[in-house]
Amino acid sequence: MSITRRNFLKTTAVAAMALPTIKVGALGAVAAGDKLNAALIGCRNMGWGDLTDFLVNPDTECVALCDIDANVLNERAEELVKMGRKKPDLYGDYRKMLERKDVDVVIIGTPDHWHCLQMVDACAAGKDVYVEKPAANSIAECDAMTAAAKKYQRVVQVGQQQRSSGHWKQMVEYLRGGALGTVGRVHIWGNFNYAAVPPKPDADVPAGVDFETWLGPTPARTFNPQRFHGLWRMFWDYGGGLMTDWGVHLLDMGLWGLNVKEMPNKIVATGGKFYYPEGMHETLDSQTVSYLFDDCIMSWEHNAGVQTGPYNRDYGVLFKGTNGTLVADRENWEVIPEQDGNRGPKTPVMKIGADHQDHKIHLRNFIDCVKTRNFETACTIENGSLCAKYAHLGNIAARLNAALVYDDVAKSFVGAPEANKYLKPAYRAPWKFPNIS
């Protein structure tokens, strides 16, 4: 079906009404030879990349696309036909799409402020979910999503594809083997030009865009192109800057390497808009965060608007051990030995390259887990939420220039009421924060 601007806006106008009742589905194990029918919410960038790698597999199909931009919807539908796939049905309201009984899995590639509602509603509708990182735009939303997956017994994969990468897995195995000695520090960094946003005046909403639905549960705003496609990540209502864009990927590797699955003992952070104080971005263009554990410290730093970093890597993860230093990014990881006086290096020099198949493998893992009802995907919602929480903790501490302790049982900061206001967003009516009971 082709979708016109008038029909598109008419369809999405229901976003201003009360949420419809979504019946819980009963999808069981899918036979190995059966095709999985997917629906994609958010079709422009990463969501489209997720869908195309999903469709590399012959046991898959796309039956529906949903987006707030009618232009994107029509373009993506045409691309699917050119790929030899069926032309999908098109939607402006994801809730209408979730009512379909033939949708097995939902891929969520929307801006971060939409992840929680869409994932919870998809789980309640009996769909399995592939949701892009970061899992959510707040700590409370991470908890709601984890609870929804458990309540509705849905298979969930978070789009942290490095968990499916061979060379990252080899890195973790190397660290587990102890050759690096005692690791006392992990340092992580990300430096990217795109994260400093120059100012532009407000503009008219582009034709075909339902901006009211794009805003969703966030506060009402005028339209500005710098807060829209892609750059929305640099505004607190919609994203968390480099900490949540790259941080969840790289913090995940640090936590995985250290085998940490709990909250840190303390978070200490600072930052500001130092490089580009005149920029529109609300997120901090210069930021440093330290996570303290019993026997180790893990630190994060980013610099927005610049693009160089340690070891000639724009981004990376460093493990400092008593026998050597391991440095890693998506291209490779290498070991730089410590020297033991006249005895020479304490551990051999190593360098392991990547095969860059991790994203396709990650989607295939999701497909296999859905078919076998295996809830232990390569990146579960529990793991995705853990990494997102670490990123949000770093942002909260940096916004306050504070040292904080977060109690993940009480769901609050210890002795820091000024930090608690950042834990849960206030949803704009008629949208309601999910209550998972």
Burial of 310 (0-12, 13-18, 19+ CB in 10 A): middle
Cis peptide preceding 434, ω within 30 of 0: no
How far apart CA 168 and CA 257 sit, in angstroms, is 9
Q: What's the pLDDT score for residue 176?
A: 95
Q: 128 pairs with which residues across the strands?
A: 105
* Three state DSSP letters for the chain: CCCCHHHHHHHHHHHHCCCCCCCCCCCCCCCCCCCEEEEEECCCCHHHHHHHHHCCCCCEEEEEEECCEHHHHHHHHHHHHHCCCCCCEEECCHHHHHCCCCCCEEEECCCHHHHHHHHHHHHHCCCEEEECCCCCCCHHHHHHHHHHHHHHCCCEEECCHHHHCHHHHHHHHHHHHCCCCCEEEEEEEEEEHHHCCCCCCCCCCCCCECHHHHHCCCCCCCCCHHHCCCHHHHCCCCCCHHHHHCHHHHHHHHHHHHCCCCCCCEEEEEEECCCCCCCCCCCCCEEEEEEECCCCEEEEEEEECCCCCHHHCCEEEEEEECCEEEEECCCEEEEEECECHHHCECCCCEEEECCCCHHHHHHHHHHHHHHHCCCCCCCCHHHHHHHHHHHHHHHHHHHHCCEECEECCCCEECCCHHHHCCCCCCCCCCCCCCCCC
| Tokens found for residue 284 | 């901090």
CA 89 to chain centre: 26
| Tokens found for residue 426 | 């206030």
Query: pLDDT 10s digit of each residue in the chain, 437 long?
Result: 444 444 444 444 433 333 333 333 334 445 556 899 999 999 999 999 999 999 999 999 999 999 999 999 999 999 999 999 999 999 999 999 999 999 999 999 999 999 999 999 999 999 999 999 999 999 999 999 999 999 999 999 999 999 999 999 999 999 999 999 999 999 999 999 999 999 999 999 999 999 999 999 999 999 999 999 999 999 999 999 999 999 999 999 999 999 999 999 999 999 999 999 999 999 999 999 999 999 999 999 999 999 999 999 999 999 999 999 999 999 999 999 999 888 889 999 999 999 999 999 999 999 999 999 999 999 999 999 999 999 999 999 999 999 999 999 999 999 999 999 999 999 999 999 999 98
CA distances from 350 to 173, 174, 260, 319, 336 (A): 14, 10, 25, 14, 8
CA distances from 200 to 39, 69, 197, 224, 285 (A): 35, 21, 9, 7, 18
Q: Which of 152, 141, 148 is nearest to 111 (CA)?
A: 141
Instruction: Evaluate whether 308 touches 315 at the Cβ level (below 8 Å).
Output: no
Which residues, other chains included, contact 40 with Cβ-Cβ below 8 Å and sequence gap of 6+? 47, 48, 50, 51, 62, 64, 65, 66, 106, 107, 109
How far apart CA 51 and CA 85 sit, in angstroms, is 12
Which residues, other chains included, contact 291 with Cβ-Cβ below 8 Å and sequence gap of 6+? 264, 266, 267, 297, 298, 299, 300, 390, 393, 394
* Three state DSSP letters for 199-249: CCCCCCCCCCECHHHHHCCCCCCCCCHHHCCCHHHHCCCCCCHHHHHCHHH
Q: What's the pLDDT score for residue 32?
A: 53
